[in-house]
Amino acid sequence: MTPFPLLKIAAKNTPKNRMKLDKFSIIGLVVALAMLVFQMQYNSKNKEELAQQEAEATESVQTPTQIAAAAKEAELALSAPQVADTFQEEIVELKTDLATFQFSTVTGGVTRAIFPEQHEVNQLEVPVALNRFGTKSIGGIETASGKVLDAGYKLTNQTDTSLTFIGKLTTGAIAQKEWSLVPSDSVGAAYRLDYKLTIENPTANTIEASSYNLFVGGAAPLYKGELPDQSGFYFLGNKGFKKKKSNPKFKKSFFGSEVSTIEDTVEELGFAGVCNQFFTCFFTPQEEYTARYAARAKEVAIAEEAGGGVKNEVSVAISLPSELIEGNNGREQFDFQLYAGPKHYQTLKKIDSKAGLVMGYGFFRPISGLLNNILTFLHHKIFSNFAGAAAWGLSIIALTIVIRGIMWPLHNISSRSTKRMAKLQPEIAKLKEKYGNDAQRMQQEQMKLFSEYGVNPMGGCLPMLGQIPIFFGLFTMLKSAVEFRHEGFLWIEDLSQSDTLFTIPLFGLDLPVNILPVLMFVSMFIQMRMNPAPTDPTQKMIMNVMPVMMVVFCYNFASALALYWTTSNVFTIFQTWLMKKLPEPQVKKRNGAKKGGFMEKLQKQAEELQKMKEAQEAAKRGGGMRDAKPKNKKPRGPRTGG
């Protein structure tokens, strides 16, 4: 049935109705067309409304799986920016009371870790920053060869304590980086961040996560005079703690050639990082795993205020754990914790029992750690309560007195043994006169003389040898103690630097005038002159040259070391003066040699050597074979005549 009746009339083409047809047909066609247009518009609008209602109805009855899939798609795929050459970088920050972590939306990582209360050497307005020379970001993703894979991120969440970045890698994978401050009551919380890295694989191919490297960071010396063994990279693995310094480049072995890049694998990775003399940053994985690392060294310019010149920045990256990320939206999460801050022994060892190894105390770690504990106790419990700005300087002096006091018995033994040896010099001179041409006999008689008088020739040396580990342990601890930075004492402005008062132009150079090394020289000279002069010309020359050598060697060392050494010399001067007030040790023959004693053993060895020598000489004088037994010969039978 036709919906428009007027079209029926127009269809009846009879002569009777032709006039009506022409009249009504024109009117009907116009009305019909108008109504048709109206109806089409009405139906189109209804279809759009119905479609929208159907879509809303369908969305309202989605299953939980569909809802999660849609949210995931919106979170990772739709919000990931399509990076172009005109991508605008944005810098955002997470702050604690002692550190500022700056993040870039290009990499989703930490571009710099800044410490506002620590300033660069001789630059009060410039705060210390880790990774300050880096073109890469801490927490960035790269290939094994060092090519950056981060292609731009969108900041999807920002609070005072956390940041979340989502973006695409150049490989097609999608990365989500979530950074957050650790709880404020945690040890070293001001320098620590939790880092959760999630990688999703929207491609059809499986991704091996270990093909991606995680950039740990870069560190460079703070000043020209920083010791070369201070900067480098390190890691903790199944074979213990290993540190490799860059001076000027890496060496694969002690005798190996230098390279600017070094790569290797470490099993059971506990942490990996980089450091300079006073600051460090390292990543600790939630679980240990076998990792590949790549360390690189590049030249950087040191500020003129800090001495100028060129040093090396060391950076390191570690591979992610060996996990397969399946295609078609498979995903894996990797958890790490970042420490970026000062090499503070008391803090590091509390964060992790092995983190104290980052200090680099090496072989002397037990001694250095103990001395650091004593120094910290003296400062925190005693001098900081009343000494104010001079607390650390007084703590160093007190630590020196404690060490010298503990070693007093060894010094006493050494001093008395030296005096006893000096009183035997006339008897030794007589032996030289008598046996001067026979060194072996001379040694034998000399050992016999020492045994008769109960004098140990090594008595003056052995106690001194016992002091060597303590000295090196203290030296290692003091040279890397960040506690001394910006701490003054008397005329010293910074105990971590030399105590330069002014400079003198000399031969085109500015010669620094340092007071403590001069005081160290004077005190060492006085100390040596208070002891009996050695009779041996070589030893006498060494004693005269030693103070000069030590001053030249230590002239530009940190004033904390010079303060320790000068205090030690002054204490030794007092000790020597006091020893001279005591009665002189007596040297007299004993009724019998001490059985089984050290000198008796030496004497017996000398006698045995003498007997062997005499036997050899006797054998030579007698032809060498006369005392030998004749060979057994077969008896000859009787001869018979023919």
Q: Running DSSP on this structure, what letter comes out for residue 406? A: H
What is the spatial distance between Cα 615 and Cα 621, in angstroms, rounded to a whole number?
A: 10
What are the 10-residue block averages of pLDDT along the chain, 642 residues in total?
A: 35 41 47 46 45 41 37 42 57 93 93 91 87 88 91 91 93 93 92 94 90 92 81 90 74 60 90 92 93 89 85 90 89 94 92 87 86 92 88 92 83 70 70 70 70 63 69 85 88 84 74 83 80 65 74 79 88 82 66 52 59 69 52 51 42
Tokens of 611: 């007997």
Return the CA Rg of the chain: 43
The per-residue pLDDT for 248 is 58
Tokens of 519: 């005081």
What is the spatial distance between Cα 279 and Cα 294, in angstroms, rounded to a whole number?
A: 21
| Sequential DSSP letters for 328-353 | TTEEEEEEEEEEEEE--HHHHHHH-T
What is the spatial distance between Cα 215 and Cα 130, in angstroms, rounded to a whole number?
A: 13
* Structural domains present in the chain: 1-29 (no CATH), 91-360 (2.70.98.90), 374-581 (no CATH)
3-state helix, strand, coil in the chain (%, to 5): 40, 25, 35
Tokens of 280: 């460090």
Residue 572 Cα to chain centre, angstroms: 36
Tokens of 534: 């050695």
The per-residue pLDDT for 165 is 94
The per-residue pLDDT for 635 is 53
The closest alpha carbon to 534, from 461, 443, 434, belongs to 461
What is the spatial distance between Cα 361 and Cα 10, in angstroms, rounded to a whole number?
A: 110
Cβ–Cβ under 8 Å, residues 347 and 187: yes
The DSSP bridge pattern shows strands 279-285 and 271-275 to be: antiparallel
Computed from CA positions of residues 108, 109, 111, 116, in that sequence, does the dihedral angle turn out positive or negative? positive
Tokens of 389: 């700005």
Q: Running DSSP on this structure, what letter comes out for residue 459? A: T
The closest alpha carbon to 476, from 332, 283, 343, belongs to 343
Spatial neighbors of 547 by CB under 8 A, at least 6 apart, are 521, 524, 525, 528
What is the spatial distance between Cα 12 and Cα 18, in angstroms, rounded to a whole number?
A: 8
The per-residue pLDDT for 432 is 72
What residue spans of 134-192 are helical by DSSP H? none
The per-residue pLDDT for 24 is 44
Quickly tell me which residue has 């795993």 as its tokens. 289
The per-residue pLDDT for 641 is 46
The per-residue pLDDT for 195 is 96
pTM of the model: 0.72
What is the spatial distance between Cα 19 and Cα 609, in angstroms, rounded to a whole number?
A: 157
Beta pairing partners, 219 = 314
Beta strands in 271-384 (DSSP E): 271-275, 279-285, 291-301, 310-319, 324-325, 330-342
Q: In what order do the strands lie in the sheet with 123-130?
A: 91-95, 100-104, 110-120, 123-130
Amino acid at 441: R
Query: Which H or E run includes 161?
Result: none
C-alpha distances out from residue 514 to 490, 531, 558, Å: 14, 28, 11
What is the spatial distance between Cα 398 and Cα 244, in angstroms, rounded to a whole number?
A: 34
Amino acid at 149: L
Provide the b/e sequence for 286-300 (b: ≥16 CB within 10 Å): eebbebbbbbbbbee
Provide the b/e sequence for 100-133 (b: ≥16 CB within 10 Å): ebbbbbbbbbbbbbbbeebbbbbeeeebbbbbbb
Instruction: Considering only the C-alpha atoms of the chain, give the largest distance between any 2 of them, rounded to a whole number of Å.
Output: 188
The closest alpha carbon to 222, from 126, 294, 135, 317, belongs to 126
What is the spatial distance between Cα 198 and Cα 315, in angstroms, rounded to a whole number?
A: 24
